[in-house]
Amino acid sequence: VYGLAARADAPIAHLVARITLLTDFGTQDGYVGVMKGVIATIFPGVTIDDVSHSIEPGDLTGAGRVLARYWKRYPPGSTHVVVVDPGVGTERRAIAVEAEGRFIVAPDNGVVSRVLDLCQDASIVSLENPEFLLVTRSSTFHGRDVFAPAAAFLASGVHLCRLGPAVAQPVRIEEPASIVEAGVMVGQVVALDRFGNLLTNLAGSSVTEGSGVEVDGRTVQVVSSYQDIPPESVGAIVNSDGVVEVAARDTPAAAILNAGLGTPVRIPDPVELPDL
């Protein structure tokens, strides 16, 4: 909302375009520097924001969850690059997505599934127009040869449709959904964060403070802030994504509960049964 007025001034708006990077490259090998250099060569005035280069190698589901968290927090006109690409060098497509005014450039391996779930009318093209790719294309580093140039051209104002033909059926990743069985919501742990907190696929709207959540059969009380969790214990909280998270204060909740990805989490008395 704020600041968009400034973007109406075209020459300035051109200068303030932003590209974000999300990869599993780490930083120590310099591949991130290569991508930034390719982008800066095509579009010298662009701002490049690192989101992360420490995605677990090949973790498409995790990267997709992270992308879903920030893509729409950026203003329209922003371009998000995602390179988690175990299939680099094979026939897998490279795609660009336009969704609610933001662009996403990524391999067609399901890493944008969550964004596509959230935005039904996204436009998707396959990155095939050689005019917008590097001339030399390796079989191991499409971050440099395909995704960085495509992002730089999109950010500089090239229309999505010029990058290649439309894609009707992008690759999707199925993610576990929570279900309701006999009035009980049944979900699971779908991610761990840096602090060892357990993120679930249960909507936060189905719990209230003081109610209980069962993690692998053990009841955990819903609290309203991390500091309401007793020392050495765990608590459930509605997190900033609006989902139920099981957290602890010092020892990671994952360790206290011996829980991890896939651990079942149930809400015996859901407040409302949301349509998920």
Count of C-beta atoms within a 10 Å radius of residue 234: 25
Q: Which of 20, 61, 79, 178 binds a second copy (CB under 8 A)?
A: 20
Half-sphere exposure for 78 (CA within 13 Å, toward CB): 18
54 binds a second copy, rule: CB under 8 A: yes
Q: How many residues bind a second copy (CB under 8 A)?
A: 82
118 binds a second copy, rule: CB under 8 A: no
Q: Is 121 exposed, middle or buried (0-12, 13-18, 19+ CB in 10 A)?
A: exposed
7 binds a second copy, rule: CB under 8 A: yes
Looking at 13-21, 116-124, 213-221, 255-263, which segment touches a second copy (CB under 8 A)?
13-21
271 binds a second copy, rule: CB under 8 A: no
Complex with a second copy: residue 91 or 181, whichever CB lies closer: 91
- DSSP bridge partners of 23: 83
40 binds a second copy, rule: CB under 8 A: yes
Q: Which of residues 196-225 bind a second copy (CB under 8 A)?
A: 224-225
Q: Which of 8, 10, 50, 218 binds a second copy (CB under 8 A)?
A: 50
171 binds a second copy, rule: CB under 8 A: no
Q: What is the closest distance, in whole angstroms, from the C-beta atom of residue 129 to a second copy in the complex?
A: 14
Q: Which of residues 129-158 bind a second copy (CB under 8 A)?
A: 138-141, 144-145, 152, 156
173 binds a second copy, rule: CB under 8 A: no
Contacts 24+ apart (CB under 8 A), 85-88: 85/109, 85/142, 85/143, 86/57, 86/58, 86/60, 88/139, 88/140, 88/141, 88/142
Complex with a second copy: residue 70 or 186, whichever CB lies closer: 70
Q: Which of 127, 154, 238, 246 binds a second copy (CB under 8 A)?
A: 238
1 binds a second copy, rule: CB under 8 A: yes
